[in-house]
Amino acid sequence: MVTQNNFFDLWDIFVNELIGDVWLTIFIGLIVIFVLAIKFKMSFELTSSFGLLWIMVAFASTFMEILWVLAILASSAFFFYNATKALNEAT
């Protein structure tokens, strides 16, 4: 809350304008996901799954939806990790 004592409080401005902005949070989250995917040399499919699931978590309105997204995330990560490992061993 703005009063005369904290009219120009930089911490409140930072929290309300940067972190509170949903689109900026989604954008920064996607950048972090893609940077980590490049660093750990993940496949495109797994990176796309992480990005899509991050967007789904950001827009989830209930906790049950977030649990569903985490279940999909775990199963897709397991599947793509094993598929990538099998393809690398076959070549």
Calculate mean pLDDT across residues 30-36. 92
Query: Over 70: is that where the pLDDT of 2 sits?
Result: no
Helices (H), 1-43: 10-13, 22-39
pLDDT of residue 42: 85
Say how many Å lie between the first and final Cα of the chain, rounded.
Answer: 61
Calculate mean pLDDT across residues 26-45. 89
Q: What's the mean pLDDT when you consider all of the chain? A: 79
Q: Which range has highest mean pLDDT (3-7, 10-14, 47-51)?
A: 47-51
Residues 6+ apart with CB under 8 A from 51: 30, 33, 34
